[in-house]
Amino acid sequence: MAISRINVGTLANDGTGDDLRQAFVKVNNNFDELDLRVIPQNTASNLGSGQGVFYTKESNNLNFRSLTAGDGINLTGDATQITITNNASLTISTDGDNLVLNTANKAFTINGGAGLTSSVTGSTVTLAAGAGVVSADTNPTLSNDLNANSNDINNANWVNAVAVNATAFNGALTGTVDGVNVGELGRQINGADYGTLPVNAETALELLFFATTFSYGTFTSPSALNSDYGTIA
């Protein structure tokens, strides 16, 4: 209610003002009104473990921090609420299309593809080559030297190369090299097989063996020619 003023009259004791009782009734009412108008000692507290909004209290004024939008954040408000919106986006580029991640499209999938497997450990995504990577490529091409790492190269139907450069060829070599049967050539070089008589020379090398006489000399005067055929079991 409003403060009640005491009517003191026009002149002293002229009988126009409030009597003594009425005047003190107004005084008491005015004190009650003033009690209701006393501002309580309010304060504010921040709850939880996040950043607090309440800052300080100065006299009867409470000071609060203001909210500022950071990168990718949008703040909007009305009379009763404040809305915080994440409007940031992330673009993932590939050899083909691009993928945009935002609030409407939050997830994407990584597929291994042909010959590849994908796995996730914690925050790490791993792509590993599985079996059949080379066979899945319709036109595989080496960009550097091929190291077989002491493994075999099997089932080669045709080796087409300008040249094969190697320190040595180890193991059995089958087939032909420049049209020459390597196995037959080795048999003719590694042995002195004169065959039976009469002979029919089919190659120039066989003719050389058949037409050449090998002289080892005599027991008392041996020649420098030496042939080691092993032992007689």
pLDDT single digits (tens) 14-45 = 888 888 888 889 889 888 888 777 666 778 88
Counting every residue, how long is the chain? Answer: 233
Tens of pLDDT along 121-169?
888 888 887 777 777 778 888 888 888 888 888 887 777 777 777 777 6
Per the CB < 8 A criterion, the answer to whether 100 and 88 are in contact is no
- Amino acid residing at 132: G
Residue 98 pairs with which residues in a beta bridge?
93
Q: How confident is the model at residue 94 (pLDDT cuts 50, 70, 90)?
A: confident
Q: Does position 171 have pLDDT exceeding 60, yes or no?
A: yes
Which pLDDT does position 10 carry in this prediction?
81
pLDDT value of residue 188: 64
Q: What is the pLDDT of residue 20?
A: 87
Contacting residues for 125 by C-beta, under 8 A, at least 6 apart: 110, 118, 119
Q: Per-residue pLDDT tens for 179-228?
A: 777 777 766 666 555 555 456 777 777 777 777 777 778 878 888 877 77
State the residue for tokens 């058949």. Answer: 210
**Number of Cβ atoms within 10 Å of the Cβ of 67:** 13
